[in-house]
DNA sequence: CAGATTAGACAGTGCCGCTACCCAATTGCC
DNA sequence: GGCAATTGGGTAGCGGCACTGTCTAATCTG
């Protein structure tokens, strides 16, 4: 199909598709002539994925590009995909961010302590470490007593979360599809998981300091 | 103190403080004359909070304003604070967002089913419901079979997370401080929790399809 | 061969989070 | 009391980002 049909089928404006092509988010079509290129279903799929990451999840175009690159390059081992390419935050990069050089590894003692305590096997370079250390530092700068030990319960829950995540994709055999699913479940689920947390917070809060109108207690689920 | 000292002590440029004042993020100081106002420690604290929400967490200025308003107005019942003021996403609001009118309530059947199944008591108006429904719809549009039932395990984990969250603030007596702590732990912790999930994913993935270099298994923690 | 379509490039737009500048009022200091 | 420095308040501008509109030359379609 040509670009117009791609646009029509995806609902993404022509000009925007060209923009994604320029930015390298969408791989170029097979050029049939100087002013003609042919796109296929994979492009359509990729385009929908881009829109989900950028529009729904709110990733910046640059971040989405990293994710997609990781996804297609490391399609062989999807766990590379999961752990890769993040410092990623919503567009506006923080000012104090570029600081502390590329000595990215090693310089996150609290994350390291946490990973160690959990017995996790995780790359030194996983940028999630930075996020953890920075968050803890920020909290303390606001007079909240908080260190990596306070995160241990959350880490335990994260571990179980990760198990569900992995369960969901292990049945997929096609490696590319597997990588894509991993990306989708990791990123698109994030807002939903945070939303669940907020719902649970409201519920728990109501339960504790009686917002007390109506009691409830029907279908409780128990997990293995 | 006057604005310059506030600037010096917080590290936030003078002009930016004025900007926050204009946007209503920071309450005005006590005016002592036409061109003079007096700020105190609460302003400094608020300013640091703003920077954390906007700079570290990545909230838009408008979103941060909502959060801060909810925090100061509903300071009496912090569970109002927790459940309030969100559709909040990182700046760029999605195009398809404003759709489906203000019939915000009721129109999120999957979130409702989930809340019901969990036996939660949560306001119909909690915007987290929308996020959940939208996420599920997006996933399905990408050919991922996923409905609210798939979220049940996550909901259970969210419930436990919420319990830890509430444990952390219930000891605080001063209501304003309590509300502030709730905001901090809800919002600032979000990136860290997602980071933990990514670390756990990498670990779990390594464990399953042996990234197999070095085995480990030291200090495992067990939760109550 | 006429009319429509396309790839590719580039300038322009709107929004956002600042930031720089200006002005008149006020202050601290002598 | 005089004067430089500071302040509050307002307005305009800036840089980055995610598009969007337009132009051109080549190509396809009928």
| Residue-wise pLDDT tens digits, A186-215 | 999 999 999 999 999 989 988 887 654 444
Given a cut of 70, whether residue B101 has pLDDT beyond it is no
- CB proximity list for A180: less than 8 A, separation 6 or greater: A49, A71
Restricting to B residues 160-199, those with a Cβ less than 8 Å away from any Cβ of A are: 160-166, 168, 170, 181, 184-186, 188-199
> Is A131 within 8 Å of B56 when comparing Cβ atoms?
no
Residue nearest to nucleotide C17 (CA to C1'): B61
Residue A161: list chain B partners with CB under 8 A. Answer: 154, 157, 197, 200
Predicted pLDDT of residue B76: 55
> Residue B30 region, left (φ>0) first, then alpha (ψ -120 to 50), else beta?
beta
Per-residue tokens: B119: 């036996």
Mean predicted lDDT score pLDDT of chain A: 82
Q: Does residue A89 reach within 7 angstroms of strand D, measured from its CB?
A: no
Residue A125 Cα distances to A86, A105, A156, B86, B199, angstroms: 10, 5, 21, 33, 11
- Contact at 8 Å (CB) between A40 and A3? no
Interface of A with B in 87-116 (CB under 8 A): 89-92, 94-96, 111, 115-116
Within 13 A of A110's CA, how many CA atoms are on the CB side?
21
- The answer to whether B75 contacts chain A (CB < 8 Å) is no
At residue A217, the pLDDT reads: 40
pLDDT digits (tens, 9 = 90+) for B33-67: 888 889 999 999 999 999 999 998 989 999 999 88
Q: Which two tokens stand for residue A134?
A: 């920075």
Contact A67, A180 (CB under 8 A): no
Tell me which nucleotides of strand D come within 7 A of a protein CB.
Answer: 6-11, 17-22, 25-28
pLDDT of residue A164: 93
Q: What is the pLDDT of residues B13-29, one digit of tens each?
A: 999 999 999 999 999 98
Residues of B in contact with A221 (CB under 8 A): 117-118, 152, 156
């Amino acid at each position: 199909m040509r670009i117009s049909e791609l646009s029509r089928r995806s609902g993404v404006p022509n000009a925007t598709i060209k923009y994604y092509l320029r930015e390298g988010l969408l791989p170029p079509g097979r050029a049939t002539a100087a002013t003609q290129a042919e796109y296929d279903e994979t492009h359509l799929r990729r385009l929908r994925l881009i829109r989900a990451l950028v529009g729904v999840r709110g990733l910046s175009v640059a971040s989405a590009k990293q994710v997609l690159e990781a996804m297609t390059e490391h399609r062989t081992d999807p766990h590379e995909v999961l752990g890769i390419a993040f410092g990623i935050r919503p567009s506006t990069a923080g000012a104090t961010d570029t600081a502390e050089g590329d000595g990215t590894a090693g310089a996150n003692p609290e994350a390291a302590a946490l990973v160690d305590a959990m017995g996790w096997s995780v790359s030194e370079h996983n940028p999630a470490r930075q996020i953890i250390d920075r968050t803890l530092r920020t909290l303390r700068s606001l007079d909240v007593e908080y260190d990596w030990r306070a995160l241990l319960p959350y880490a335990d829950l994260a571990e179980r979360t990760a198990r569900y995540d992995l369960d969901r994709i292990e049945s997929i055999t096609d490696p590319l599809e597997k990588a894509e699913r991993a990306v989708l479940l990791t990123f698109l689920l994030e807002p939903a998981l945070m939303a669940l947390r907020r719902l649970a917070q409201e519920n728990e809060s109501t339960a504790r300091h009686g917002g007390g109108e109506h009691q409830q207690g029907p279908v409780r689920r128990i997990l293995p």
